[in-house]
């Protein structure tokens, strides 16, 4: 199955089984906004809880907060978002379609890269066994020419982005001969900077109202509460503040389902450290965060680090944890060493002293910050795409199964009376009562047992508990494993500890 087909199947499955719906779908949806259905909300809550436990409850020196989405407008001036949280946009005058200018150039570059890949494949076929790819790409005239074009385009794009030279980006689009995919013309407007923050009015009357923003990241809610938490929690450096919550960005190129949304949720942690110790902590958090991902049992080959070479002006180190999505390796989480930029800026704009008195050093300073920031929806997509499996079974039939990490699965166990009579439903309900306070279980008696197994495979339920006539005699049930489909007969009294065992994270 190619990646496009896989992605179509995945989004279809997500909708059919109550994971993700387009927002306000009865009105044809709202671009890049999605709703989570009955199973989606469970998966999302489980991811959030798994993160919160690992980051807050398992660290004595990290506490959580829940700051408001609306913040004083000066927050966004101090953070740099008012002046610099921009995308360069360009319109095609014929199709009236709007594009991100940098994305147009990047897509052009990736077409050039495809051309090189094709040249390599052609040569591989021609030379057979003796083909030396490294030698070919460093000596073939055609490949060298395309590589040079790629280099030039990237250098000009990133240089112009850095200096904010929009005219140079327009010139680059023209020089590269980029056409609008809809109209096929090169009739472009000038490139303009477009701020990604959504704004609204706060106040009861239009005249007295002031413009405020919907937060584009949760991090600033942590920075402005630094003093409150440090003082009331008597926190000693190094310590962290964590938060999960909604963020909003007016993304122009919003695509790939829930990968890039206009309303999304972040899980962020700011770790406050002594100046000079931040790079050690940066390395520590890179490794810690990767271990968190691996503890879910996903193969390590699905993850890789991408260290940033070009750093934002306030950062002295930055790396992404990338995940192999159906459309390739892409950013899942960012780890940033943000120096004292944010606290320093809030100190300046608010006029309040935002410092820490370090009793060991006997001095005050503005703490440095190492941030870990992961998109909850993006993690959801990573887990869903990794879990989606189509299997051909020995009897020739097929099944779709979500091989989700059990701890994240929406439903932990399905409780299924073999038939809806002979006292089996009553016995099954007894088991449900005993388990439901510890694990989210679902009771189902409709349809054949085979159909019920398939339904639970499709939503990723790790265990199915089947109550049959033997259960009434000896208090045993069959326990079916989602992935192996093996069934074993076990005592009802052992169910709780067996389910609990299944949900334990890996120690990595
Ligand atoms: N406080 C730092 C910060 O916000 P970011 O790299 O802009 O950094 C962090 O965002 C994470 O938030 C990303 O790694 C990604 O997982 C998620 N994210 C960012 N924009 C998103 C969007 N439009 N839709 C879904 N997730 C997004």
How far does residue 267's CA lie from ligand 1's centre (Å)?
A: 9
Confidence class for position 380, pLDDT limits 50, 70, 90: very high
Residue of 450, 322, 447 lying closest to 398 (CA atoms): 450
pLDDT beyond 80 at 2: no
Name which residue sits closest to atom 21 of ligand 1, judged by CA.
260
Q: Given this model, what pLDDT does residue 4 score?
A: 80
How far does residue 253's CA lie from ligand 1's centre (Å)?
A: 14
- Does the Cβ of 251 fall within 6 Å of ligand 1? yes
- 197's CB contacts (< 8 A; 6+ apart) are 76, 81, 82, 85, 213, 214, 216, 248, 249, 250
How far does residue 168's CA lie from ligand 1's centre (Å)?
A: 28
Q: The tokens 């919550």 sit on which residue?
A: 245
Domains in the chain: ranges and CATH: 42-79+196-384 (3.30.930.10), 86-192 (3.30.40.230), 395-502 (3.40.50.800)
pLDDT beyond 90 at 183: yes
Q: Given this model, what pLDDT does residue 207 score?
A: 67
How far does residue 218's CA lie from ligand 1's centre (Å)?
A: 10
Confidence class for position 254, pLDDT limits 50, 70, 90: low
Q: Given this model, what pLDDT does residue 423 score?
A: 96
Q: Given this model, what pLDDT does residue 469 score?
A: 97
Alpha helices (H) in 443-494, listed in sequence order = 449-459, 469-474
Task: Give the chain's end-to-end CA distance (angstroms, integer).
Answer: 32
Q: Given this model, what pLDDT does residue 253 score?
A: 72
Average pLDDT over residues 133-153: 94
3 state SS of 84:
helix
Q: Which residue has the higher pLDDT, 508 or 279?
A: 279
Residue of 486, 398, 507, 458 lying closest to 54 (CA atoms): 507
Q: Given this model, what pLDDT does residue 208 score?
A: 66
Whether omega for the bond prior to residue 110 falls within 30 degrees of 0, making it cis, is no
Tens-digit pLDDT profile for residues 150-179: 999 999 998 998 888 999 999 999 999 999
- 37's CB contacts (< 8 A; 6+ apart) are 15, 18, 19, 20, 21
- Does the Cβ of 374 fall within 6 Å of ligand 1? yes
Name which residue sits closest to atom 25 of ligand 1, judged by CA.
260
pLDDT beyond 70 at 330: yes
Give the residue, out of 331, 375, 377, with the most ligand 1 atoms within 8 A of its beta carbon, to mutate for a pocket test: 375
Confidence class for position 205, pLDDT limits 50, 70, 90: low
Residues in a beta bridge with 324 = 329
- Does the Cβ of 277 fall within 6 Å of ligand 1? no
Average pLDDT over residues 406-428: 97
pLDDT beyond 80 at 209: no
Q: Given this model, what pLDDT does residue 256 score?
A: 85
Give the integer Cα–Cα distance in Å for 253 and 107. Answer: 12
Give the integer Cα–Cα distance in Å for 172 and 290. Answer: 38
Confidence class for position 206, pLDDT limits 50, 70, 90: low
- Going from the C-alpha of 340 to that of each of 122, 135, 240, the distances in angstroms are 52, 46, 15
Give the residue, out of 331, 337, 339, with the most ligand 1 atoms within 8 A of its beta carbon, to mutate for a pocket test: 331
pLDDT beyond 70 at 240: yes
Q: Given this model, what pLDDT does residue 383 score?
A: 98
Confidence class for position 443, pLDDT limits 50, 70, 90: very high
- Strand 20-22 to 34-36 pairing: antiparallel
When mean pLDDT is compared across 83-87, 353-357, 431-435, the lowest value belongs to 83-87
Look at phi and psi of residue 434 and say left if phi exceeds 0, alpha if psi is from -120 to 50, else beta. Answer: alpha
Q: Given this model, what pLDDT does residue 40 score?
A: 98
């Amino acid at each position: 199955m190619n990646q496009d087909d896989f992605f179509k199947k995945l989004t279809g499955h997500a909708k059919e089984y109550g994971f993700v719906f387009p927002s306000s779908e009865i009105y044809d949806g709202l671009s890049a906004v999605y709703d989570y259905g009955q199973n989606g909300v469970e998966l999302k809550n489980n991811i959030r809880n798994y993160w919160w436990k690992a980051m807050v409850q398992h660290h004595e020196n990290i506490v959580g907060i829940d700051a408001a989405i609306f913040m004083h407008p000066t927050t966004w001036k101090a953070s740099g978002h008012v002046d610099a949280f921009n995308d360069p946009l360009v319109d095609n005058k014929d199709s009236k379609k709007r594009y991100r200018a940098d994305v147009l150039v990047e897509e052009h570059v990736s077409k050039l890269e495809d051309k090189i890949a094709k040249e390599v494949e052609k040569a591989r076929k021609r030379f057979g066994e003796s083909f030396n790819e490294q030698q070919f790409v460093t000596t073939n005239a055609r490949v060298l020419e395309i590589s040079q074009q790629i280099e030039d385009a990237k250098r000009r794009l990133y240089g112009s982005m850095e200096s904010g030279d929009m005219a140079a980006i327009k010139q680059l689009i023209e020089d590269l001969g980029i056409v609008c995919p809809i109209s096929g013309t090169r009739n472009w407007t000038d490139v303009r900077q477009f701020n990604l923050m959504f704004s609204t009015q706060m106040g009861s009357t239009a005249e007295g109202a002031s413009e405020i923003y919907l937060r584009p990241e949760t991090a600033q809610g942590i920075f402005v509460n630094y003093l409150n938490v440090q003082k009331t929690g008597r926190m000693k450096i190094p310590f962290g503040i964590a938060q999960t919550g909604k963020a909003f960005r007016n993304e122009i190129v919003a695509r790939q389902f829930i990968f890039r949304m206009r309303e999304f949720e972040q899980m962020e942690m700011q770790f406050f450290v002594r100046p000079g110790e931040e790079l050690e902590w940066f390395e520590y958090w890179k490794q810690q965060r990767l271990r968190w991902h691996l503890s879910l049992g996903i193969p390590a080959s699905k993850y890789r680090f991408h260290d940033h070479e070009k750093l934002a002006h306030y950062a002295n180190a930055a790396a992404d944890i990338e995940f192999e999505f159906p459309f390739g390796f892409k950013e899942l989480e960012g780890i940033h060493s943000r120096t004292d930029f944010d606290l320093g800026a809030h100190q300046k704009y608010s006029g309040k002293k935002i410092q820490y008195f370090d009793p060991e050093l006997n001095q005050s300073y503005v703490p440095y910050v190492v941030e870990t920031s992961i998109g909850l929806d993006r993690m959801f997509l990573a887990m869903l795409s990794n879990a989606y499996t189509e299997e051909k079974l020995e009897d020739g039939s097929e099944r779709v199964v979500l091989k989700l990490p059990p701890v994240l699965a929406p439903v932990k166990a399905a409780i299924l009376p073999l038939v809806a009579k002979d006292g089996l439903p009553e016995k099954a309900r007894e088991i449900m009562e005993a388990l439901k306070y510890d694990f989210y279980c679902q009771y189902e008696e409709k349809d054949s047992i085979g159909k019920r197994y398939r339904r639970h495979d499709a939503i990723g339920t790790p265990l199915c508990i089947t109550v049959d006539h033997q259960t009434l005699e000896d208090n045993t049930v069959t326990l079916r494993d989602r992935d192996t489909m093996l069934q074993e007969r076990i005592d009802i009294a052992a169910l709780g500890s067996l389910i609990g065992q299944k949900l334990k994270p890996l120690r990595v």
